[in-house]
Amino acid sequence: MSEPTSRSGERIAKFLARAGVCSRRDAEKLVLAGRVKVNGQILTSPAFNVDDSAFVLVDGKPVAEKPATRLWRYHKPAGLVTTHRDEKGRETVFAHLPKDLPRVISIGRLDINSEGLLLLTNDGALARQLESPALGWLRRYRVRLGGTVDQEMLNTLASGVTVEGVRYGPVEALLEHTRGHNSWAMIGIREGKNREVKKLMGHLGLNVSRLIRISYGPFQLGSLEAGAVAEIPMKVVREQLGGAAPAKDKPRRAARPAR
């Protein structure tokens, strides 16, 4: 019997990832190992689309219904990498999350030495939406700086700068206080490029010895303790996103084969 074909819907790997089965990469491996069936037929290629009417089995078990879209605040401690697997064997954020949390992905990242607010979701579409620079949300950081700094120096970032050929947009920077050779500043950025704050401070000749994200758009770290997780009601998310809120935030009923 030939493999089923479909042009509508979404790729099987994305479908399985959104259903919380595994990552897209692992889903592709499941397909290639012959462990995935769609409407009674074994898939041999991950280049296959499924829609809500498909009946999908993994290792003979029906894929659970798509869970409702959810969003959490997480206080990331320093010393953890924001990845599901680390090739260097370092401790990861996801290995330290509460066991009762479903499979989640991060919205943006914080590097291993950074700490503070990290948003987590079980919906890849929501993650992409909240990461988009088009949303224009400000990310705020409290940053401990080493070196000589004053407000005038920080003001040079207000119109944006180019560092090593990369253009960075306007930055909000406020010097809070200085004690000895260390200063604390509040930095606000909207783009969230890789290691943006550290590169911008390095451009000014300053060393970042501590970086704490305290807000991501309207969502605040607040008094959340290191390592703690708190769910954000989807009503609040919809209010903040307005008409751009994710439409599919209700569970999808598990499909059943036609009789």
Q: Which residue do the tokens 């609040």 mark?
A: 236
Do the beta carbons of residue 208 and residue 142 sit within 8 Å?
Answer: no
Give the span between the Cα atoms of 44 and 93, in whole angstroms.
33
> Which residues participate in catalysis according to the annotation?
111
Give the span between the Cα atoms of 124 and 104, in whole angstroms.
9
